[in-house]
């Protein structure tokens, strides 16, 4: 039995299922649901669990919004532009609601968790039927029943309950799976809305996580991504505390051929125990995404990041001393309020010193509801854009030189799909490096060996190596 077909008895009582199906299937043989998740991988993971609930109720999932009987938008709130995008989509869906008055329209996720959203939607988008926040995910079936029984605007943005574990996801990917290990964040970075819409940190019990991973490995999944806003602080809130490093070792002990990855890590909680666990492992990716955000201590303090550049570099140095080729990626914000040229130069110096394999870069965007939004910003937008161009130019130079360390090496690669180049496949190795090579699509979902013959500033290219060739 596939994990996505498991019965959801704990989350959806039979009595509730019967009532829902009685309403939904009156005079209809099929009902279709369209689910779209915006934003981060945790949002995508929530969307998979929502899809699982809908399938258990009896919906057929569709990728075509226009043929759906229920449309659910699982929203992101990290930037105001993301919210504006959703409101634009709602405006378009209004016409579909006019054409089909029985269409059920649902808005959920981080955006729906903000205090003002439900009232704003009720006033400006009265054709929306159901609104619920991240804390109310498991109560969605009851909200759906309330709507079907006549509640005009079914809304729940309340507190978390204990039913989440009974929701089994309908996964969108056949061999890569995300497994949340915790939810929420306690850090309150001044630019970030996440603690306000996801709540405080709450860790899942290790036995629940391990059971989910065992079922995934049993069903042939090759990559397990452990997710949390700050996985490094996992387990501190449990009745019997456990560290994230201890959890990783328990996941690694599960029999099977799979790779373990995780997101996201906060530098202040990257302990030597965690670093040693990664370095000593055969299954955990030899890669750490360690968001630094800025190379200036002055700006880091204004961001409330609670570490210094010097402390961050201690972590980098420890990893590189044990493994000079260890892969590091990071997030960087350009143009935080009143970032000076000196502050920005500190960021460039850090990029040059660390030699990141990849950067995820953002020009600072004011986010209503955060502390940073209250800061008067005197740095012109044009200057921020110019700084971003300089940063990306430097990273291209750094990555071009740094990727050359792979030339001639044979990498173990999980084949993820076909490349944009005809006849080529692409995947990632244990260090999360993108690898392209000529190959047959039948290899997708398998581990293969690739000898690197060329490098670029974002990926490497190579040729397949047979087991016999590897042994020579």
**Could you tell me where the DSSP H helices lie in 267-380?**
272-279, 297-303, 309-322, 341-354
> What pLDDT was estimated at residue 2?
33
pLDDT tens for each residue of 44-58: 999 999 999 999 999
pLDDT band at 164 (very low <50, low <70, confident <90, very high): low
> What pLDDT was estimated at residue 122?
94
> What pLDDT was estimated at residue 399?
95
pLDDT at 229 exceeding the cut of 70: yes
> What pLDDT was estimated at residue 267?
97
* Token pair in block for residue 147: 């709507």
Provide mean pLDDT across the span 19-31.
Answer: 93
> What pLDDT was estimated at residue 344?
98
pLDDT at 101 exceeding the cut of 80: yes
pLDDT at 9 exceeding the cut of 60: no
Question: What is the overall mean pLDDT for the chain?
Answer: 93
User: What is the distance between the alpha carbons of residues 270 and 29, in angstroms, rounded to a whole number?
Assistant: 53
Domains, the chain, ordered by start:
3-156 (3.40.50.12160), 173-285 (3.30.750.210), 311-405 (3.30.750.200), 407-471 (2.40.50.140)
> What pLDDT was estimated at residue 157?
86
CB distance 452 to 407 below 8 Å: yes
The dihedral of CA 334, 198, 83, 377: what is its sign? negative
pLDDT band at 193 (very low <50, low <70, confident <90, very high): very high
pLDDT tens for each residue of 350-402: 999 999 999 999 999 999 899 999 999 989 999 999 999 999 999 999 999 99
* Token pair in block for residue 37: 């998740």
CA distances from 29 to 50, 59, 107, 280 (A): 22, 10, 26, 54
Model confidence pTM above 0.75: yes
pLDDT at 159 exceeding the cut of 90: no
> What pLDDT was estimated at residue 1?
27
> What pLDDT was estimated at residue 7?
34
């Amino acid at each position: 039995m596939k994990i996505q077909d498991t019965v959801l008895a704990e989350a959806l009582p039979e009595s509730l299922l019967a009532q829902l199906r009685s309403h939904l299937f009156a005079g209809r043989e099929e009902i279709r649901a369209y689910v779209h998740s915006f934003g981060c991988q945790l949002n995508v993971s929530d969307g998979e669990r929502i899809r699982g609930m809908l399938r258990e109720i009896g919906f057929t999932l569709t990728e075509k919004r226009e043929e759906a009987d229920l449309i659910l938008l699982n929203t992101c709130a990290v930037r105001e532009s993301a919210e504006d995008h959703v409101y634009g989509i709602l405006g378009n869906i209004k016409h579909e609601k006019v054409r089909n008055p029985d269409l059920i329209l649902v808005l959920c996720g981080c955006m729906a968790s903000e205090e003002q959203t439900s009232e704003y939607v009720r006033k400006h988008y009265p054709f929306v039927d159901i609104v619920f926040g991240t804390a109310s995910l498991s109560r969605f079936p009851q909200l759906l029943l309330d709507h079907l029984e006549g509640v005009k605007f079914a809304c729940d943005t309340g507190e978390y309950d204990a039913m989440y574990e009974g929701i089994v996801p309908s996964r969108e990917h056949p061999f890569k799976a995300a497994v949340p290990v915790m939810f929420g964040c306690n850090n309150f970075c001044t630019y970030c809305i996440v603690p306000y819409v996801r709540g405080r940190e709450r860790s899942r019990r290790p036995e629940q996580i391990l059971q989910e991973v065992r079922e995934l490995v049993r069903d042939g999944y090759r990559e397990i991504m452990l997710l949390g806003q700050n996985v490094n602080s996992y387990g501190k809130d449990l009745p019997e505390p456990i560290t994230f490093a201890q959890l990783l070792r328990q996941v690694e002990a599960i029999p099977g051929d799979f790779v373990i990855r995780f997101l996201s890590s906060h530098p202040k909680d990257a302990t030597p125990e965690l670093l040693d666990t990664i370095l000593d492992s055969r299954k955990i990716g030899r890669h750490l995404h360690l968001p630094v955000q800025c190379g200036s201590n002055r700006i880091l303090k204004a961001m409330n990041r609670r570490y210094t550049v010097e402390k961050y570099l201690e972590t980098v140095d420890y990893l590189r001393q044990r493994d000079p080729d260890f892969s590091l990626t990071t997030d960087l914000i350009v143009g935080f309020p009143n970032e000076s040229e000196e502050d920005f130069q500190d960021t460039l110096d850090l990029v040059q010193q660390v030699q990141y394999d990849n950067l995820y870069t953002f020009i600072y965007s004011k986010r209503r509801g955060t502390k940073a939004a209250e800061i008067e910003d005197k740095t012109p937008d044009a200057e921020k854009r110019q700084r971003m161009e300089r940063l990306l130019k430097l990273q291209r130079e750094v990555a071009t030189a740094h990727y050359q360390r792979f030339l001639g090496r044979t990498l173990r690669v999980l084949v993820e799909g076909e490349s944009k180049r005809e006849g080529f496949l692409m995947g990632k190795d244990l260090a999360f490096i993108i690898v392209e090579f000529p190959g047959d699509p039948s290899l997708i979902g398998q581990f293969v060996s690739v000898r690197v013959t060329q490098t670029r500033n974002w990926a490497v290219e190579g040729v397949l190596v047979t087991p016999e060739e590897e042994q020579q």
